[in-house]
Amino acid sequence: MATNKAVNEVLTRLKIETPSWAYGNSGTRFKVFGQPGVPRDPFEKVEDAAQVNKYTGSTPSVALHIPWDKVADYAKLAAHAKELGVVLGTINSNTFQDDDYKLGSVCNPDAKIRDKAVRHLHECIEIMDITGSQDLKLWFADGTNYPGQDSIRERQERLSESLKKTYARIGENQRLLLEYKFFEPSFYTTDVPDWGTSLMHCMELGPKAWVVVDTGHHAPGTNIEFIVANLIRVNKLGAFDFNSRFYADDDLIVGAADPFQLFRIMHEVNVGGGFDVGTPISFVLDQCHNIEAKIPGQIRSIMNVQEAVAKAVLVDQNALRAAQISGDVLGAHDVLMDAYNTDVRPLLRDWREAAGINPEPMKAYAASGYAAKIAAERVGGNQAGWGA
Ligand code: PSV
Ligand code: MN
């Protein structure tokens, strides 16, 4: 068995970014339910993100979404974050909520619209220059709904050209992250539907382009750990967007639907050196809390990731390898399951105590009175929501 010391070291190194949109109101296309105390602007979103960091000790950065988190002065927002002990992280672009993008953004048949989309991506990089953010994350809603609607191949050429124009503007210490998703909002073809397409474009672009694996963006039954192992093998896995899904892109709390899958993914990350010092892999939540409270939803998510990581690090690698090499099928499986079936919660409580954090983050946050405080203070103005 790996030692608790090894687990503690990884937990201390492991930083997970939370998304600004998790703090705003969200819902389905049927209904968005408001919640008391929801932030009214990006400054308040950052304050909530700082609370998650306070109770987990593991979320020192918050991802922004442009234009949802557009502010007049990004340096001021960055300074506000810094005062609260967090930094501004990944900048997420948005090329899916403008009427012009009905037929796509960077793949649109109209060159003027493609140019508009690329200008937006350049604007996001300008924001990164001010905030000091390392990563530009691209998720494109581009695709088609009907066979024959557009040329599949030409759309790939347009995508390649637009990505090259974006990549040309990426700074020396910045990265372009290309996320894939197999469907929605397009239902016949999606222009970046899978890891192969994303990887092909990233390889064409160069060393600053990396693939993002959003755990909710695969068809049911997809072996995500296989994808992760392969991307790590060619050193192109740039980031995770964590969430879980029962059906499609459900954006539920990571580890809620299938904690065993999350463990298997984290095991591949561990084997591939993804928790080592200097790992290129960023760990980010991409979730919406439609019916549950938002800050506790984020805290619970971080705890779920930590539990999966702790179990993955506990896998006895020597015993696993020995069993694998000797063809001991069930022995190898046992080694993995032993780690998965370990109750790591006491270990995590000890690690938190040693790190000066309350061992029970959910209870500590609930007892803090912060939820009642923001519900009383944040009256008037417009609550931020998915899409604002
Ligand atoms: C849309 O599916 C999505 O969830 C993508 O995963 C992005 O990362 C996120 O929204 C923010 O644009
Ligand atoms: Mn995502």
List, for residues 24-41, the tens digit of each pLDDT value.
999 999 999 999 999 999
> pLDDT grade, residue 6 (50/70/90)?
very high
**Which residues sit opposite 385 in a β-bridge?**
25
Tokens for 108?
């649109």
Instruction: Examine the pLDDT at 387 and tell me if it is beyond 90.
Output: no
From atom 1 of ligand 1, which residue's Cα is the shortest distance away?
Answer: 139
| C-beta 287 within 6 A of ligand 1 | no
Total-model pTM: 0.97
User: Is the Cβ atom of 139 under 6 angstroms away from ligand 1?
Assistant: yes
- pLDDT for the residue 125: 98
**Residue 136 pLDDT > 70:** yes
Mean predicted confidence (pLDDT) in 212-239: 98
Q: Is the CB of 92 under 6 A from ligand 1?
A: yes
Q: Does position 388 have pLDDT exceeding 60, yes or no? A: no
pLDDT greater than 80 at residue 1: no
**Across 56-83, average pLDDT:** 98
What are the residues whose beta carbons fall under 8 Å from the beta carbon of 52, sequence distance 6 or more?
Answer: 18, 59, 295, 298, 299, 302
Average pLDDT of span 43-68: 98
Q: What per-residue confidence (pLDDT) applies to 385?
A: 85
Please name the helix (run of DSSP H) or strand (run of DSSP E) that holds residue 163, with its range, or none: helix 152-167
Mean per-residue pLDDT of the chain: 97
**pLDDT of res. 386:** 74
Task: Find the mean pLDDT for residues 47-74.
Answer: 98
Domains of the chain: 4-375 (3.20.20.150)
Q: What is each CA distance from 154 to 96, 141, 232, in whole angstroms? A: 20, 17, 30
> Exposed, middle or buried: residue 376 (CB in 10 Å: 0-12, 13-18, 19+)?
exposed
Tens-place pLDDT, residues 108-123: 999 999 999 999 999 9
Residue 21 confidence (pLDDT) above 90: yes
User: What is the average per-residue pLDDT within 339-359?
Assistant: 98
Please tell me the predicted confidence (pLDDT) of residue 153: 98
Q: 26-30, 159-163, 234-238, 329-333: lowest mean pLDDT where?
A: 26-30
Measured in Å, residue 354 CA sits from the centre of ligand 2 at 33
Residue 3: its pLDDT value, please?
Answer: 77
**Alpha carbon of 159 to ligand 2 centroid (Å):** 19
Tokens (6 digits) for 387: 């899409």
